[in-house]
Amino acid sequence: METREDYRIHTLESDLKAHEVQCEERWKTNFQRMDDIDEAITRIETRIVHVGGGVILFLAGLLATIFME
């Protein structure tokens, strides 16, 4: 026969297991979102580098044109 204390312990263990499962799923979701954010930041960083290179080439061409006159 289970005592009241045994029932309470069993209930707490069940609740803890359910909590662990929920937290594990949440962490998986969070890590997936962080991976998505990391990919987006990488794309933005690549675009910034390309635009920066374009600006440098444009300015270099502008300076070359000014000094050739």
Q: What is the predicted pLDDT for the residue at 69?
A: 81
Q: What is the 3-state secondary structure (H, E, C) of 1-41?
A: CCCHHHHHHHHHHHHHHHHHHHHHHHHHHHHHHHHHHHHHH
Residue 7 amino acid letter? Y
Each residue of 8-54: pLDDT tens digit?
999 999 999 999 999 999 999 999 999 999 999 999 999 999 999 99
Tokens 């920066």 belong to which residue? Answer: 52
CA dihedral over 23, 25, 28, 29, signed as positive or negative: negative
Q: Is the pLDDT of residue 59 over 70?
A: yes
pTM, two decimal places: 0.65
- Interatomic CA distance for residues 28 and 25, integer angstroms: 5
Query: What phi and psi, each to the nearest 5 degrees, are found at residue 3?
Result: -85, 170
